[in-house]
Amino acid sequence: MNSKTNSFKQKNFAQLPLLVTSVICIITIFVVHEFTKDKINLNKQKAKLAIITKTLPLVYDNDVFADNIKIDVPIEINHTGSIGVYRARLKNQPVAISLMPVTTKGYNGRISLIVGISYDGILTGVNVLQHSETEGFGDQIHQNKTDWLQNFNNMTISVFAEKKWTIKKSGNDLDQLSGATITSRSIIDVLHKTLEYYLQNRDKFYENK
């Protein structure tokens, strides 16, 4: 009986260093997380703000990151039916908005965009946030791959008739990406729908929180 008891005690004593080490690791992870979470969140905010301001090359004096709302939109503009709106103002007067994310379906899956629109309805910038397009073809939509998206800077809804908001292959002058007809057409279509909805509901995008 004493032999068994001693064996049990020795076994537990042998496991004690492992238990202590585990507890120390857990405490360390918790402390590190608590000390770094604010910095991580701040870095995320800075990265997000950089993306937003990239689509708003205009003069404004408000905190565009803080001046934001979520509004309901058609699922053709965002598949969830809701979108984030970041508002740029100058002396409290509306200047532009940045919408994130505008979503559409590419060849291989959903594409998420951030779209800047001036108060009077001019596209000020378009960037890809996320996509699943094929490397070497559809992935060329990304701003780090080509400057294709810059073709839409300064475009307005009135540049073309609705049926002309399409690619050269379908009878217009808008360039498509080589080997990515479906993806190109999809992005052009969602940009047209977004501009159209904005112009029809502009006050909604600038309403108070």
Please write the tens of the pLDDT for every residue from 117-133: 999 999 999 999 998 88
pTM: 0.75
Provide Rg for the chain, Cα atoms: 26
Q: Pick the range with the lowest mean pLDDT from 64-73, 95-104, 181-190.
A: 181-190
> Residue for token digits 């080589």?
178
pLDDT of residue 8: 47
- The values of phi and psi at residue 123, to 5°, are -65, 125
> Residue for token digits 């905010």?
45
Sheet of 110-118: strand order equals: 68-72, 82-90, 93-105, 110-118, 123-130
Give the closest residue to 56 by CA, choosing from 149, 128, 111, 127: 127
Which of the two residues, 159 and 135, has the higher pLDDT score?
135
Average pLDDT over residues 155-181: 64
Q: What rounded mean pLDDT belongs to the chain?
A: 81
- pLDDT tens-digit map of 54-71: 999 999 999 999 999 999
**β-strand 93-105 against 123-130: which pairing, if any?**
unpaired
Distance CA 119, CA 96 (A): 5
pLDDT of residue 108: 86
- The values of phi and psi at residue 31, to 5°, are -65, -45
The answer to whether 151 touches 187, Cβ cutoff 8 Å, is no
- The values of phi and psi at residue 60, to 5°, are -150, 160
3-state secondary structure of 199: helix
Domain ranges for the chain, please list them: 55-205
Distance CA 175, CA 1 (A): 87
The answer to whether 141 touches 168, Cβ cutoff 8 Å, is no
The answer to whether 99 touches 83, Cβ cutoff 8 Å, is yes
pLDDT of residue 161: 58
> Residue for token digits 């309901």?
72
Q: Which amino acid is at 20?
A: V
Percentage of residues in the chain having pLDDT higher than 70: 71
